[in-house]
Amino acid sequence: MLTTVPASVAMLKVLEAWGVKHVYGYPGGSFNSTMSALEVEQDNIQYIQVRHEQVGALAAAAEAKLTGKIAVTFGSAGPGATNLLTGLYDAREDHAPVLALVGQVPHTNMNYNFFQEFDEGPMFADVACYCRTVMTGESLPYVVDKAIREAYRHQGVAVVIIPNDFGYVQIPDVPYKSSSPSDNKPTPLPEATPAEIDQVLAMISAAKRPVFHVGRGIRQGGEQLIALSKKLQIPIIMTGLTKGLIDEDYPGNLGFVNRVGSKSANEIMDIADLVIAIGADFPFANNVYTRHDFKFIQVDADAAQFGRHHYLDLGVWSDATYFVEQLLAKATPAAPSQFFQAAVADHQNWRDYQASLVDNPSEPLALEPLYHALNGIIDPDAIIALDVGDNTISLLRYLSLKPTNKWVVSALFASMGVGIPEAIAAKLNYPDRQVISISGDGAFSMVMQDLITEKKYHLPILNIVTSNTTLGFIRDEQADIPGMNDYSGIDLEDQDFVKIAEGMGIAGATVTKPADLPAALAQAQATIAAGQPFLLEAKVTKKRAFPVEALKVKIVDGRVEETVSPTYNVNRALQAPATLSDFFAEYDGQSLRPLQSFLDDAGVVLD
């Protein structure tokens, strides 16, 4: 005799068959049929109660980014559904497979203006690659299974809207899942042809100042890229998400371009005559690629990305690492390059400058000593949950990450408040690894209620809050807006985050100067070793990080003309620099040199 099971339980069994271990959400009356099923299946799938649906969606997005596997969040009808959107857009923009289960009033009450009822489909139509409202109890597990396949297929968000009463319907207790061992096969990737490799080598040979601009598509191919850089004498510039994938101690790795990056990467990019973008999604192209003309080669495993950020001189549809390996095998070693030598020297000058900042004894605390201290405690396989803001600049410039580390951020949607949700997801999925969240005070205060989620589930996470009572990233942008005479709307009321944490039963410490760091970090490590979360509040300076974006580089009559942008500090919050040297000195960079001096030393002639 065929047995039956509630449709919501059958649906959860589908999730379990796909390997889902956690679902993040907050209950509501329109989601009770699924909550009932979660009680039934509690030994097989863990419900993580967050204190805001946005946190649940952001945590699911982070889980998908960290693991590459489908992650699940939910919200009830009405505000529970609307609160999911920020996290779902974060997942969409960063190509993370996420399933959102959304409550709806019983189907018998739909279209009657019932309490919390609204047509949810249109709201999710833009964010979702697949969005369906379940029409029968029998179809619920099938629709969820289909949604997971679509989320994987598009590396995006799938939404299933569930009228609450359908979850209670008894349906045949049979396997509804379609998952199979074939789902674990790696996706076949395109490969560059010999003819394409020849074309690339010919364009490199014709160029005088080529650079590699590399994204996270390089995956585990960092060592091969370094070998290629040495062989062809081409410097490497990275996009932000490549952090940790390519050894930053390699002298030819110039770091990152644009506002978060290095002086040297920005300068060298601005005189390059050939840019070879490899596996890179660079959303700031209109700030960087438009500054001067160059020839452009784009290598990407997704041909739909061609021309997304710059017109093509050559597109190569290929996996990034395979392309690098083929280029490395076929290329003949280049003669020592004066341009490469100048780029290396320029970047070494920048690295020496960075090293000089880690001993800054200032109070409030400078960010450089804080990140230097973190480098001393980070495990080789630590996971960093980064919120957005000034900490993005500091992490990319100062934190030492390796391929064995993981880190996660809201990269393209740049949603404030992701640090805590990311850390929760990281610790749940990698319980044996060190997890550190880093947030500014503005971002942290958006979601700090979910510190209690860390405590509830016994998640030993080091939460770092850099507090300076301002939205620093926006403050520095406003400084350069013509027509503004002061800052607007960026000042934050101060608060004691340690006391807030202590009110939740979480230990913490406040640091205001470098001398405070060793004891505070030792206390944090002891607390975490005891299985409890910890909050470290760092009272940090409001001083702007070195604004590489203010440097303007162009070639005039065979020489580099390097100046400070006329919009730099146009609101006169600081004294305007009279010379480039004055600009460097404003940021304790008296040792920094202009690009042309390195070109002169290396004997580079520009034309």
Please choose, from the candidates 98, 110, 115, 99, the residue with its C-alpha nearest in 3D space to the C-alpha of residue 166.
110
- Catalytic option among 5, 45, 53, 584: 53
Write out the E strands in 301-426: 314-317, 383-386, 406-408
Cis peptide before 364 (omega within 30 of 0): yes
Q: Is 537 a catalytic residue?
A: no
- Distance between CA atoms of residues 341 and 77, nearest Å: 61
Catalytic residue among 105, 159, 214, 388: 388
Tell me whether strands 22-25 and 71-75 are parallel, antiparallel or unpaired.
Answer: parallel
The answer to whether 543 and 457 have CB atoms below 8 angstroms apart is no
> Tokens 């207790």 — which residue?
173
Report which secondary-structure segment, H or E, holds 71: strand 71-75
120 as an active site residue: the answer is no
Among 124, 473, 534, 583, the active-site one is: 473
- 474 catalytic residue (yes or no): yes
Distance (Å, whole) CA 578 – CA 331: 47
Q: Rounded to whole angstroms, how far apart are CA atoms 396 and 406?
A: 13
Residue 115: active-site member: yes
Q: Can 473 be counted among the known catalytic residues?
A: yes
Helix (H) or strand (E) holding 559: strand 559-564
Q: How far apart are CA 218 and CA 167, in angstroms?
A: 44
Q: Do residues 94 and 120 touch, judged by C-beta distance below 8 A?
A: no
Distance CA 8, CA 200 (A): 54
The span from the CA of 243 to the CA of 254, in Å, is 12
Give CA–CA dist 238/255, Å, rounded: 6
116 is catalytic: yes
Query: Cα–Cα distances in Å, from 408 out to 99, 142, 231?
Result: 19, 32, 32
Please tell me which residue in 46, 116, 170, 523 is annotated as part of the active site: 116
Distances (CA, A) of 181 to 16, 19, 72, 229: 14, 12, 21, 39
Does 477 qualify as catalytic in the annotation? yes
Residue 144 and residue 141: Cα distance in Å, rounded?
A: 5
CA distance 410 to 419: 9
Both tokens assigned to 273: 């005559």
CB contact at 8 A, 459 and 55: no
Residue 157 φ then ψ, to 5°: -100, 130
Show the tokens assigned to 360.
């800054």
Are 366 and 543 a contacting pair, CB within 8 Å?
yes
- Structural contact between residues 214 and 236, judged by C-beta atoms closer than 8 angstroms: yes
Q: CA-CA distance, 347 to 595, in Å (whole number)?
A: 10
Put residue 417 in one of left, alpha, beta given phi > 0 → left and psi -120 to 50 → alpha.
left
Which of 16, 223, 477, 562 does the annotation list as catalytic?
A: 477
Q: Does 546 participate in catalysis according to the annotation? A: no
Known catalytic residues are 53, 115-116, 259, 388, 473-474, 477
